[in-house]
Amino acid sequence: MRRLRLKADGRIVELRDGQEFPLAPLAPIAAPVVVARSPAVRDLRRRARLTQQQFAARLGVPVETIRNWEQGKRMPRGPARALLAVIAHAPETVFAALAPGAVAL
């Protein structure tokens, strides 16, 4: 049985003896799937002038999550994607609403 790994950049590699070997590309079967791009997390964080640790704390997620998003290993999904889209337009409002002691309606 072959062991395969999907890399963050979309490549598939075969794992043999602890090393990765690229697979020959296959002919495309269908049109490529367009993935909806969320706002660039690193850009949002830098515009807010926050470190990864500070940004993670404000969003209530582990710092590893922020790192994975910024490095392209993972993409924000669902509510996180929506929250990042709102942060792109009104960061101060979002951070104020998420601050400890903020009144929830």
Domains of the chain: 41-98 (1.10.260.40)
3-class secondary-structure state, position 19: strand
* 3-state SS, residue 59: helix
Tens of pLDDT along the chain (105 residues) come to 778 887 777 778 888 888 888 877 655 556 555 454 545 899 999 999 999 999 999 999 999 999 999 998 999 988 899 889 899 988 888 888 888 876 655
What pLDDT is stored for residue 31 in this prediction?
56
Picking from 41, 47, 48, the residue whose alpha carbon sits closest to that of residue 68 is: 41
Distance CA 44, CA 1 (A): 43
- Give CA separation, 25 vs 29, 33, 43, 102, in Å: 12, 16, 32, 52
Q: What is the pLDDT of residue 103?
A: 64
Type of residue numbered 99: A
Q: Report the side by side order of strands in the sheet with 3-6.
A: 3-6, 12-16, 19-22
